[in-house]
Structure 1
Amino acid sequence: MDMKLELVMVPVTDVDRAKEFYVRAGFHADHDQTVSEEIRFVQLTPPGSACSIAIGRGLTGLEPGSLDNLQMVVADADATHADLVARGIEVSEVDPQPWGRFIHLADPDGNQWALQELPSWSSGAGGDGQRPDA
């Protein structure tokens, strides 16, 4: 039986400010529906992702900014870093680790994101999954 993660709720205080941030960061705005005065649903999808995020009103009981280390995989950390900086997104420098190269950023509410370039040996990056030092 397959199970596919489709939607992650991201708690925010200002829906329009958060939507602008994510669209500026390159996410596609899929839906923006006000259901009632209490509920607004905004779905945003990172480029190339099968999983989306949702922001809005009345969607989650989590405190805005409480998500820590949402993670996405990118093909090239340097190119992604340059692209996000050009879009006006504040990001960390590229952080090289033995298990990948990372860029860290936060949305306007402080929800934390890590963007990981997988190491060349990783099966997720097209490698054989065997560490060269193993």
Structure 2
Amino acid sequence: MDRSAMEWKLEVVPVPVADVERAKRFYTEQAGFHADHDTQVNATVRIVQLTPPGSACSIVIGAPVSTPPGVVQGLQLVVRDIAAARAQLVERGVEVSGIQHYEKDGTLADGPGGRWNSFAFFSDPDGNGWVLQESPT
């Protein structure tokens, strides 16, 4: 097998949550993710896979949780129009920061930046942190 032709695709990222039903509602009703499947494996194991619109990568939440809820930070969603994406989240009741950019010294400043330098930040109900980043059109 030609190793240079090997594809490596990140398809699922586990996100630890304390309350699966609450998290599923947040991700589907507020963040706009699609619920791919919700499987109750047995009395104690439940697996829910959710995918952001247009993404090839999903998240999985479920019970039992082996990692403390809220420890995942910096999950990044890339969008073409950060103002429109931020507005959708706000309309759905998500607490999301204003649009910000990084200065040359690494500090965050208010307002959009240049190419690949416009961000907004939000968290799920457990404190797992998400970043919206605008891609160049």
TM-score by length of 2: 0.83
Partner of 1:103: 120
Structure 2 residues without counterparts, runs of 5 or longer: 1-5, 103-113
Equivalences, count: 119
- The one of 23, 28, 40 equivalent to 2:28 is 23
Residue 66 of structure 1 corresponds to 71
Structure 2 counterpart of 1:85, one-letter code: V
* One-letter identity of the residue aligned with 1:70: L
Q: Secondary structure at the match of 1:47?
A: coil
**Amino acid across the alignment from 1:105:** F
Separation in structure 1 between the aligned mates of residue 134 and residue 86 of structure 2, nearest angstrom? 11
Residue 62 (structure 1) shift: 1.2
> What secondary structure, in the 3-state scheme, does the structure 2 residue paired with 1:55 have?
strand
Structure 2: distance between partners of 1:26 and 1:41:
19
Aligned to 1:36: 42
Question: 1:37-87, CA deviations, whole angstroms, 9 ceiling, x for partnerless residues?
Answer: 2210000000000000000103x5211000011111011110011111111
Is 1:7 aligned with 2:12? yes
* Alpha-carbon shift at residue 96 of structure 1 (Å): 2.5
Question: Aligned Cα RMSD in Å?
Answer: 1.2
TM-score by length of 1: 0.84
Q: Which amino acid aligns with 1:106?
A: S
Q: Percent of aligned positions with the same letter in both sequences?
A: 55
Q: Which amino acid aligns with 1:21?
A: F
Structure 1, unaligned stretches of length 5 or more?
126-134
